[in-house]
Amino acid sequence: MDASTFFQFTLGDLLGSSIATAILGALFLRWNKTVESEITGHFDRQFDVFQSTRAWKQDALAELFGPVTMHFDRTKAAFDRWNGKNLFLEAQIVRHGNQAIRDILLAKGHLIPPALVPHATKLIVHYDVWMEAFDRIRGESSPAADTPFVFVGSEGYPFPHEAEAAFKAEFARLQRELYGV
């Protein structure tokens, strides 16, 4: 084989292998980009889910569980202060607290986890019955001194302490999970 034939074969082989390498490189690059976009998309979706879940927890804590827990504590403190007839305490603190809890539960129902919906329903029913009794007993006028306090437990609607405990437990759990408190 002479030098010119050797050069032609060598040049042909180099050119052929260069084209094959370029084609394989393009295919690998395309495959690599596809894999990279799948991985990136997966992590982006995971991060979006994380952000969405965290945002829900923050909203639930700030708009539902925090305010409801504070009203629970406020009305409990009012009950603890009763040592005689105190219509102001009942009309201003307890009634406003009961109505606030009920209104928050109704307005922020989308933030209530499914496991707590039955508890929320018990609280709402209790507060509806209590406010109905309050309006019937107290009415729009000034109540007489011998008017009894408003309790609806004897009517079959006692305060659902287990519901209060469940809401407070969820408040504490979210606070720990989000803020480590």
pLDDT in tens, 72-117: 999 999 888 877 777 788 888 999 999 999 999 999 999 999 999 9
Q: Which position has the higher pLDDT, 167 or 14?
A: 167
CA atoms within 13 Å, Cβ hemisphere of 60: 23
Q: How far from 121 is each of 96, 145, 150, 160, CA to CA, in Å? A: 19, 34, 20, 10
Residue 154 pLDDT more than 90?
no
pTM of the model: 0.70
| Segments making up each domain of the chain, as ranges | 50-179
CA 81, 83, 85: angle at the middle one, nearest 5? 105
Closest CA to 68 of 94, 96, 105, 95: 105
CA–CA gap between residue 131 and residue 124 (Å, rounded): 10
